[in-house]
Every structure is written in structure tokens, then in C-alpha cells.
Amino acid sequence: MFRKVLIANRGEIAVRVIRACRELGVATVAAYSTADRDALHVRLADEQICIGPPPPEQSYLNMPALISAAQARSCDAIHPGYGFLSENGDFAEACQRSGLVFIGPRVRNVKLMGDKARARRFMRRAGVPVLPGSSSSVRTLDEGRQIAREIGYPVLVKATGGGGGRGLRVVHEPAELEAAIEASRGEGQAAFGQARIYIEKYVERARHIEIQIIADQSRNAVQLGERECSLQRRYQKVLEESPSVALDRRLRARMGRSALRVAAAIGYTNVGTVEFLLDPQGGYYFIEMNTRVQVEHGVTEMLTGVDVVKEGIRAAAGLALSVRQRDVVPVGHAIECRINAEDPFTMRPSPGTVRALRLPGGPGIRVDSALQAGGVVPPYYDSLVAKLLAHGRDRTEAIARMRRALAELQIEGIVTNVALHQAILEDDDFLAGRIHTRYLEGWNARRALEPARAS
């Protein structure tokens, strides 16, 4: 096991990793920007080191600064969390060259799955269902037009190195294609440092289903079941739950086997998530693989009792999985609400100082957060400030507990999207499980939120 780990991240995931390391007896070093000097992860870590000013490219995206910080504090590994450099193959390789263990999969896994077009080709050869689309990056507009004609509109233009909902554009007719390609290229360059794009068939009223896997360096792998992630706004996940009401026992087993086939095909190690689109007819298709811990990993942890973060650290240290497939028996139902510092109507970020904070509790409730009363939510980073999770014996109880927890949650000084979650949990279609990835876009959210706002 590692002796000391640098946490190359911030916010709730940095806190989560520090807690996992402490349980494993591993010392931690919090890397922080000057904006996060008084942040909770800095206070909880055994050691602290400043890596630069607030802008991410000068701190949490600054590879030389992070590696130098780890070496200066005699760390033997770096945990990237999620976001920032967590799926950056060059960073994983730089860690390796510097004698540091990158707590994640092998470099070749990160680089292969980070190139979405290449990953699609690989999965097709491995016998995993893949949507029709380009077999490589689309270089010209004419090439894009030809591919779109062949597979038929609507199509989805995607940044090759994409993730987190960035670099995606739905195109319904030929006249929209050029602008969509340029927009995706621009977002891809800004967010991932590359402007390459590919095109695939767009599935109307699809569900977003992902399968959590963990694997060790001896190629032992298990899948921990699915998460339903269809409630999204601007391709950003809002609420996740498990199990999905759209899957029966047979389909669940098939998708789980496909996820393990993905892991086996690339010799995957560590924590990862295989993402699928599920069409209304029950067909499912590989979208991508996230080679890191997911924001919503807590949903799986509550159902299975498996500590996903600790398993990832153990795997990176060369230890065997502590769980076998027959030991994975999900119990009950779990829901996660992403609490963001943003206006629930416009999604405009709301940085500021937290004047008062009251976190909910009680049976089946978990809160993952780095918020503190008197703490500052800076304007430089993602707006996620807390993950509120509820577990129940069934979906009805989990929803009831989440409603109670949202009513108890008090965050003063910043605007949050709590009212959006309260409205979703009262929505008849959500309660009946009639959702898809574009559901919230067609939902009259403002009307649904008015009662919550008035109260």
C-alpha cells in the first residue's frame, strides 16, 4: 500500500479521497490553489501544498506543478479524483515517468478510451454494440456531411476527447451541421485541448445507463450494477438513481456482461464506468468509458456496500479486489441529487460566501460535500457543492427520504438548485419512471418550480 498520496483535486471529491486514504492508513497531501487556502480538503489532509493561483490552468490543470508538489512532499502516488486531469493520458504518463503512481487505470487505457472515435472502433471489434457513425475523427465539413447522410439525421456531433457534457451538439437537418461542428470543435479545444470531432447517430428518447466496474492488475473484474443517469440539462447530469426502472433482470445481466467485455478487451485496471444509450425498444449501445471514479459513485456504494474509492486505491497499489462478483448483491434503491451553486432556472453559477449551513441526516441519508459555514464557493470551478444521497428499501422509500432531506437542507449566502430537485421529485412522469435524456429540456421547469420558489 502507498505511504503518502497527493490529492490533485478539490471540493467534495478531494474530501472523499482523503477519507478513503485515512481508512487505509495512507497519509495525504492536499494540493490547493490560493482560492482554496481555507477549503475543507486542505484542513482535513495531513499536509498541504499550494500549487498556484485560482485559474485551473495555473493550478489544478498545471501538470508540472502537481508533479513537483508530489515529489517535494515525498509522495509515492497521485489521486486525480474526477474532472481536471483525471482522464488525461499525458498526465498519467508524466506521473509514471516521474516515479509516481497514477491512481487510475494504465496509461494505455486512459489514452484509448480518451479518444472516443478510436474507442468506438475498438468496441465494435470486441463485439460490443456501438451506434452507427464515423469510424475515425471527422476532418472536413464535406466528410461530416457524407457521414450524416449515410447514417441519417438526427445526428450527434461530439468532441473526440469529450466528457462532462461538453462538445456535444444535436443536429436535426443538414443546414445545422456546419455550425454544430465548429461549436463542438471550439468547446473541445477549450475543455480538452483538442479540436477533433466525430459523428454518430442520435437516438430519440434514449436513456443514459452506466455500469460501474472495478478491476485489479491481475485482470480480475467485477461489475457493480447500473445507474440511471437520464435526467440531464445541457448534457449535464442532474439526478442519478439505481436500479433503473427501465431494466429487467435479463437486460440488466446482458448490459453487465457487455461492460465486463469492454474491460476485458482493453485489459482494464482500476475503477471505471461503461456508459450506454438504451433506446425505447430495449437496444443498448456503447457511448464511452470514463476511466475514473464518477461523481455518482456513491449511489453504487449505498446499494452494494462496496467502497469504490478505496477499491481504486487498492488496485493502483497492486492489491487484489476485495470483492468477487458473487458477493455483489445490490439492496434497495438509491438516489443522488447534485446540489449546485446555481440558479435552478438559468443554471447561472452563484459563487459567494456560505453564511449558514444545515445538512440533513436520519435513516438512509448521506451527504458528500466540502461546504463549510463561512466558507467561500469560488467562481473559478465547477458549481457542484454537495451530493445528497438517499437509500431506501425500494424506490418509493428512497424518494420519500430524499424529499425529507431536501426540505432539511439549508444553505444560505448562495443560490442553489434545491428547488429544481424538489420539483423533479413531485413530477408525475419521474415518479412513473417515464424519463429520457432530453426529458428536462422539454419539461416546463419554470412552472413546476414556482410552488417551491414561493414556499
| Cα distance between residue 185 and residue 139, in whole Å | 11
To which H or E segment does residue 441 belong? Answer: helix 439-442
Among 16, 169, 292, 366, which one carries the catalytic annotation?
A: 292
Cell of 155: 445526428
| Cα distance between residue 102 and residue 70, in whole Å | 11
298, 116 contact by CB (below 8 A): no
| Cα distance between residue 17 and residue 23, in whole Å | 10
> Cα 358 from chain centroid?
26
The 10 Å Cβ neighbour count of residue 57 is 9
Cell of 393: 428499501
Q: How many residues does the chain have?
A: 455
| Cα distance between residue 14 and residue 9, in whole Å | 6
DSSP 1: -
The type of residue at 188 is: G
Q: What DSSP string runs through 278-292?
A: E-TTS-EEEEEEE-S
β-pair type (333-340, 356-358): unpaired
DSSP 202: P
Provide the 3-class DSSP secondary structure of residue 74. Answer: coil
Active site residue 292: yes
**109 beta partners:** none
**Cis amide linkage into residue 129, ω under 30° from 0:** no
The residues that are catalytic are 292
